[in-house]
Structure 1
Amino acid sequence: MPTILEPKLITGTSNIPLATAITRRMSMHRGKPIGLVDARVERFNDQEIFVEVYENVRGEDMFIIQPTSNPANDNLMELLIMADALRRSSAARITAIIPYFGYARQDRRTKARTPITSKLVANMIVESGIERVLTMDLHAAQIQGFFDIPVDNLYASPIFALDILHHFKGEDMKDVMVISPDVGGVARARELAKRINAPLAIVDKRREKPGEIAEMTVIGNVSGKKCIIVDDICDTAGTLCKAAEVLMEHGATEVHSYITHGVLSGPAVERITNSVMKSLVITDSIEPTEPVAAAKNIRIVPTAPMFAQAILNIWNGTSVSSLFETETLEPAYEGLFHG
């Protein structure tokens, strides 16, 4: 078998800018150019997906970069078809880099006669020949158990902590308070609060049906605080904007939000632009649309440094969990936080 000299990266069409940024970061780390494997992903007239890999990948350690964001079904099928193409081309190992794992919100049966689609998607990924998954901020930690292959789940909180410590310096940090927008997200919020040494409060919401919020209660004293709402997904931004309003009503001086995956569908951007929120910070796990990129109070932090390091660690057989530590991650983000 030939010696594997470098990891090889290939991307679908769902987030090409992120894939390109990851290869640039890896090239810096390795001191030699690492590019994306030359391939084509195209649609037939009936929207069937076709993949052709132009380079020899026999015996190679392959990494497919493909978030399964909107359109979720197309991007998921691209991932599975690319994996099949690589497996049939005798790749030694196939790792799927899925920064945003679609269908993660269907992780349990919420009522009778409903599916657990996360498990179905996990089965499809395993059957396609993928041998390892690298993702970020899964909606529910138990999804890792749906796979019969190793799953590395990275966290955005170390990146967010670096960003917060950069933007709220000195005296400002004394008034910062981390907010969980619901009881289910307390563990995530507590993790960030611990990193920046800030207190924690909760906005308890009661839903009548999906997408609608009946009432909200603030658990904790937010008066005179700079509130930072932390969550994994922001879809239509209804909950987020309502939570920001409730916090301001309870005496918060300003509200910022740090959300890992900016799905931002439908009226989300308009809601955020017109909301009382001072800023919304998201990652580039999902490629930002033009309205998102243009919105004056939405800021995007890069995940490429973290994913590049994680890919190199998987390829080298070294620890991925070391990236949860600020000391390990800080050098990768040197000079990236400014303004």
Structure 2
Amino acid sequence: MPNATEPKLISGNSNRPLATAIARRMSMHRGIDLGLVDARVERFNDQEIFVEVFENVRGEDMFIIQPTSNPANDNLMELLIIADALKRSSAARITAVIPYFGYARQDRRTKARTPISAKLVANLIAESGIERVLTMDLHATQIQGFFDLPVDNLYASPVFALDIQSHFGDLSDVMVISPDVGGVARARELAQRISAPLAIVDKRREKAGEVAEMTVIGDVTGKRCVVIDDMCDTAGTLCKAAEVLLENGAKEVHAYMSHGVMSGPAVERITNSTLKSVVITDSIEPTESVKKCEKIRIVPTAPIFAQAILNIWNGTSVSSLFDQRTLGPIYEGVYSPK
């Protein structure tokens, strides 16, 4: 049953442009102004976070838009403190919209005496008063099970499929590549959406952050290869994979990454690499160097997040957004309909 009041959005400092774009998109859908709630999220001199909400939120359905990207600790604390402020202000329900979920790579114990930080963050979120989480492309889908509250995990692959169909034209020579064995399920899903074959780059690491050896499983000769992964951090593995694919006969290599973490030398590596293009979403606010890089293109996530928020608020299906036929009309104006 639809709610009597409209959803209300509030944003931390992590990705204000995305929050503003989501609010603008929702305003267009609802036909009324759904601007961000007036609030301040500031620092004391010792860098403690202070939040003050200037509007009445009693009994409101609140959505906090806050990726927990770099600086992850600051952005996570902003999210938790905003949630506490809303809870103490008698908000009816608090949903955390976390386009990029930080600490997701620490989802299991790979060695003795190491933490499962993703579970710890899930506990913190639940204790802060947040009742629901909306995110995109978790590093590992089992992280949903770390929460004792509903988690809606959106996928970038339907949006990527629309982008590929719009920019690649004839897809007969396109092949989807998984950069490792662990990402096969993600790559297979995209391959099925665009009716393309699948290959795998098997990588072996001697230690974290360093790739010792790469082997291509599958025939990529004469193919336009599309590497798909959930994040691009330092881009070392991605650039190396592109070289290996070209050495094995690929015509050109493109990459689609859900989250452009882009740490350290990532942009420089991509600029100097053999990659034809790298497509990322705006789940993490891109830096100026990312925006200026000619090889990097950014696709918007505001349309899918705006619709997901409205579906949650209205009590309708979020999983309908997993289908690119549903996303097509939502992304009209971004991609030409096929």
Indicate the TM-score class for this superposition, using the shorter chain for normalisation: over 0.9
Instruction: Give the 3-state SS of the residue equivalent to 1:17 in structure 2.
Output: helix
CA distance in 1, matches of 2:262, 2:191: 25
Cα RMSD for the two superposed structures: 0.7
The aligned runs of 1:124-143 (5 Å cut-off) are: 124-143=124-143
Code of the aligned partner of 1:228 = V
Quote the offset at 1:327 in angstroms.
1.3
Quote the offset at 1:69 in angstroms.
0.1
The aligned runs of 1:311-322 (5 Å cut-off) are: 311-322=309-320
The residue aligned with 1:203 is 201
Code of the aligned partner of 2:94 = I
The residue aligned with 2:301 is 303
Instruction: Give the 3-state SS of the residue equivalent to 1:231 in structure 2.
Output: strand
1:163-197: CA deviation from partner (whole Å, max 9, x where unpaired) = 00001113xx1000000000000000000000000
Instruction: Give the 3-state SS of the residue equivalent to 1:112 in structure 2.
Output: coil
The residue aligned with 1:30 is 30
The residue aligned with 2:55 is 55
CA distance in 2, matches of 1:149, 1:49: 26
Which segments of 5 or more consecutive residues in structure 1 lack a partner in the other structure? none
CA distance in 2, matches of 1:223, 1:155: 29
Instruction: Give the 3-state SS of the residue equivalent to 2:207 in structure 1.
Output: coil
Instruction: Give the 3-state SS of the residue equivalent to 2:308 in structure 1.
Output: helix
The residue aligned with 2:172 is 174
Code of the aligned partner of 1:335 = G
1:136-177: CA deviation from partner (whole Å, max 9, x where unpaired) = 00000000000000000000000000000001113xx10000
The aligned runs of 1:143-222 (5 Å cut-off) are: 143-170=143-170, 173-222=171-220
CA distance in 2, matches of 1:283, 1:326: 16
CA distance in 1, matches of 2:266, 2:322: 30
Code of the aligned partner of 1:252 = A
Q: TM-score, structure 1 length as denominator?
A: 0.98
The residue aligned with 1:109 is 109
Quote the offset at 1:5 in angstroms.
1.6
Which segments of 5 or more consecutive residues in structure 2 lack a partner in the other structure? none
In the alignment, is the contact (CA less than 8 A) between 1:86 and 1:94 conserved in 2? yes
Equivalent in 315, 327, 330 of residue 325 of structure 2: 327
Instruction: Give the 3-state SS of the residue equivalent to 1:76 in structure 2.
Output: helix
1:286-324: CA deviation from partner (whole Å, max 9, x where unpaired) = 000000000000000000000000000000000000000
- How many residues were matched structurally? 334
The residue aligned with 1:95 is 95
Code of the aligned partner of 1:76 = L
